[in-house]
Structure 1
Amino acid sequence: MSATYSIIIADDHAMFLDGLTSILSEEKSIKIILTAKTGTQVLKYLRINKDEKIDLVITDINMPEMDGVALNQAIKFEFPQIKTLVVSMLEEAKKIKQLTEANANGYISKNAEKTELLNAITNILEGDNYFSPRIKQVLMEAMFSEKSSPEIALTKRETEVLKLIAQEFTTQEIADQLFLSKHTIESYRKNLISKLGVRNLAGLTRYAVEKGLLA
């Protein structure tokens, strides 16, 4: 990299933030503009300094106030010219998919070697995307898993009952809201447990969360 690039780093772990700052401070082509502990701080800075050229935001996923997924989405919506690189210990397929769908430019593990980190940054700043082999593997495994597990179709009423169960309403409260008998709601609950292949109410709640029914 011959040009000089301006970078922002967001991570709520001070030790990692200091380590990353130390590594990048050695690179003559990189200028660290801001280090932040929350996504909120990054977004506030970008909104206040709209005329300042920022080339890349490096962010963790798990942060207070605004996590890395929400930060990436906000950056890509408000500042689409800014590149984003996620550096995280998290290898959750759903989060990775959300980031790729929101046009994140890269994703590597916090366990990555210094050479891979710099390689990822270089690739992204030069116009390419970079996702580590492990992250690509997680995405591929999730895709194959989805294909082998066909989507279970729920009726409108089943979905309503499931959402209310996941929101911790009692059987009687659900019956009152849907103008049905308590016995009918109990039947829906038993049928949902059987249909979705879960063991209990916790399983129903987990399914509802995974499918985004509470969003």
Structure 2
Amino acid sequence: MTLRLLVVDDHPVVRDGLRGMLGTQPDFEVTGEAAGGAEALTLAEALRPDVILTDLRMPEPSGGTLIRLLLERVPDTRILVLTTHDTDSDVLPAIEAGAIGYLIKDAPREDLFRAVRAAARGETVLSPSVAALLLARVRPQWSAPRALLSAREHEVLTLIAEGRTNREAAAALFLSEATVKTHLLHIYAKLEVPDRASAVAAAHRRGIL
């Protein structure tokens, strides 16, 4: 069975990359591409794809609003979010709107392929950082201290606390070393500390780690 896919992203390079990547699989067919929410709605109704892979922050409608509108118009289509954003304000509205899966764009290609097939079967697929965020939401007594950091920042800090270098943390999370350094700077700012050791100490003191 060939799965018919619609790719929605406002960056042409990303759309081209996804089309090329997905096209390597014999059971995938990218039937259309959209650069924004309005175009996605039109194409979804016309093409009736099995799975829509969509970013969240695009020309309106976007995010949870776009997902709700898509499911109103093509209720049998599965929505798989593929984005760089894994904060509460992005993840929760998307899941609540009806997205069956949520992947971060740095996921390995094999994970993306598995996610598309699982979504088509009606199975929920989540990146580890997103799963951790949702688990934290249903366990508030555990999540309250760590809510200060995003799920990705918590992953980075956990690896740093284990003694990993920036390069090792980047490899473990399939990120660039520069991205890990950016996450660390955000962590320092949020914890009001100057360096790695202080960040780890502060995180333990606050119950984040």
- Answer whether TM exceeds 0.5 for this pair: yes
Report the counterpart of residue 65 of structure 1 in structure 2: 60
Report the counterpart of residue 115 of structure 1 in structure 2: 110
CA RMSD of aligned residues (A): 1.9
Q: Answer yes or no: is the 8 Å Cα contact 1:8–1:58 preserved in 2.
A: yes
Report the counterpart of residue 97 of structure 1 in structure 2: 92
**Any gaps of 5 or more consecutive residues in structure 2?**
145-209
Match runs of 1:110-149 below 5 Å: 110-145=105-140
Match of 1:60, as an amino acid?
D
Residue correspondences, number = 144
Which structure has the larger Rg?
1
Q: Answer yes or no: is the 8 Å Cα contact 1:10–1:17 preserved in 2.
A: yes
Query: Whole-Å Cα distance in 2 between the matches of residues 148 and 108 of structure 1?
Result: 21
* Normalised TM-score (structure 1): 0.62
Deviations 1:91-117 (A, max 9, x none): 111321112222211001011000110
Report the counterpart of residue 194 of structure 2 in structure 1: none
Secondary structure of residue in 1 paired with 2:135:
helix
Query: Whole-Å Cα distance in 1 between the matches of residues 139 and 30 of structure 2?
Result: 40
Match of 1:75, as an amino acid?
L
Report the counterpart of residue 159 of structure 2 in structure 1: none
Report the counterpart of residue 24 of structure 1 in structure 2: 22
Instruction: Summarize the Cα distance change of 1:54–1:141 in structure 2 as closer, same or farther, 3 Å threshold.
Output: same
Report the counterpart of residue 164 of structure 2 in structure 1: none
Match of 1:4 among 2, 11, 14: 2
Secondary structure of residue in 1 paired with 2:86:
coil
Query: Whole-Å Cα distance in 1 between the matches of residues 95 and 60 of structure 2?
Result: 22
Match of 2:35 among 14, 19, 37: 37
Secondary structure of residue in 2 paired with 1:84:
strand
Residue 59 of structure 1 and its aligned partner are, at CA, apart by: 0.2
Q: Answer yes or no: is the 8 Å Cα contact 2:37–2:66 preserved in 1.
A: yes
Query: Whole-Å Cα distance in 2 between the matches of residues 116 and 141 of structure 1?
Result: 23
**Any gaps of 5 or more consecutive residues in structure 1?**
150-215
Residue 16 of structure 1 and its aligned partner are, at CA, apart by: 1.6
Residue 142 of structure 1 and its aligned partner are, at CA, apart by: 3.6
Report the counterpart of residue 155 of structure 1 in structure 2: none
Match of 1:93, as an amino acid?
D
Report the counterpart of residue 56 of structure 1 in structure 2: 51
Secondary structure of residue in 1 paired with 2:44:
helix
Query: Whole-Å Cα distance in 1 between the matches of residues 63 and 112 of structure 2?
Result: 18
Secondary structure of residue in 1 paired with 2:60:
coil
Secondary structure of residue in 2 paired with 1:141:
helix
Q: Answer yes or no: is the 8 Å Cα contact 2:137–2:143 preserved in 1.
A: no
Match of 1:119, as an amino acid?
R
Residue 83 of structure 1 and its aligned partner are, at CA, apart by: 0.4
Residue 146 of structure 1 and its aligned partner are, at CA, apart by: 8.0
Match of 1:5, as an amino acid?
L
